[in-house]
Amino acid sequence: MMTNDDKKLLTDIGSGDIYNGREFFMPFSPIIMQSTAPKKFIDIINRVGDDVLNDDKKSVQWDWSNNLVGKVHKEIQIPISNKEEKKYLGNIMKQACLDFLNYSIKKHRAYAWNKLVAGQQMVDGKKIEKPTLKNIHLTQSWMVSQYAGDYNPWHKHSGNFSGVVYLKLPKDMNKEIVEDHQDHYPSNGLIEFMYGESCDFRSDSLKFNPVVGKFFLFPSYLKHFVYPFHVKGERRSMSFNAHMMVE
């Protein structure tokens, strides 16, 4: 039987589905979650990013580009030394993953989680009723600093969950995006997700504009591409990977 949520998705797919204050898009099979990162989160990451990116020695020390595919200015790890800030940042990312997982459970799409729970129950007889932050493990996080002409080729990540948060944008980025939307295929500065093959009566890709604070979470296997832009200034974002675990 089709639920009200299913009907809403069929009639209102353009605006997304709201769950626990977050917006979800399902134009194709994988789920994409959109939300807004707290200002405190953005400020902490940017402060650390400024410190590393503006120092050549630290940029070399924390360089992460050999592990990534980006054709960009710099890709660095994010060295958070303050324990309270590290816990705060980690919990924000974990909570996003947990909301994504719970929504997937609600939609009967959490296949890997169901296998984990079933396996754990076979081992010790304990049934996990609902996942918590303890079931989310962050594996990597890094920052991407891009300038005019830089781009990120088609790629996917490792783990179960991957996220991207926009931290800074060039002053005229929005102007360029608005102007480019007059073109037959607007793409400058956008992130594009793709899944499956191009077929009639379905969508195989979805683009989003970058906005400071915008926070996307998606399955790590979902391929995506970041288009170049042409205006002056830095476009800065952070990404992370996480996976599910049972104790």
Residue 4, domain member (yes or no): no
Residue 164, classed as helix, strand or coil, is strand
CB neighbour class for 91 (10 Å; exposed up to 12, middle 13-18, buried from 19): middle
Residue 11, domain member (yes or no): no
Residue 2, domain member (yes or no): no
Residue 15, domain member (yes or no): no
pLDDT tens digits, 29-68: 789 999 999 999 999 999 999 999 999 999 999 999 999 9
Residue 3, domain member (yes or no): no
Q: Which residues constitute the domain of residue 53?
A: 32-244
Residue 25, domain member (yes or no): no
In the chain, count H helices and then E strands: 6, 12
Strand order across the 32-36 sheet: 17-19, 22-25, 32-36, 214-219, 161-168, 235-244, 136-146, 74-77
CB neighbour class for 45 (10 Å; exposed up to 12, middle 13-18, buried from 19): buried
CA distance 151 to 131: 36
Q: Which residues contact 157 (CB under 8 A, 6 or more apart)?
A: 220, 221, 239, 241
CB neighbour class for 199 (10 Å; exposed up to 12, middle 13-18, buried from 19): exposed
Total of domains in the chain: 1
pTM here?
Answer: 0.86
Residue 26, domain member (yes or no): no
Evaluate if residue 27 carries a pLDDT over 70: no
- Taking residues 193-207, report their average pLDDT: 83
pLDDT tens digits, 129-182: 799 999 999 999 999 999 999 999 999 999 999 999 999 999 999 999 999 999
Q: Are 240 and 140 in contact (CB under 8 A)?
A: yes
Instruction: State the CB neighbour count (10 A cutoff) for residue 16.
Output: 18
Residue 36, domain member (yes or no): yes
Q: One-letter amino acid identity for 181?
A: H
- Produce one character per residue of 151-188: b if its CB has 16 or more CB atoms within 10 Å, e if not: ebeeeebebbbbbbbbbbbbeebeebbeebeeeeebbb
User: What CATH number is given to the structural domain containing 216?
Assistant: 2.60.120.620
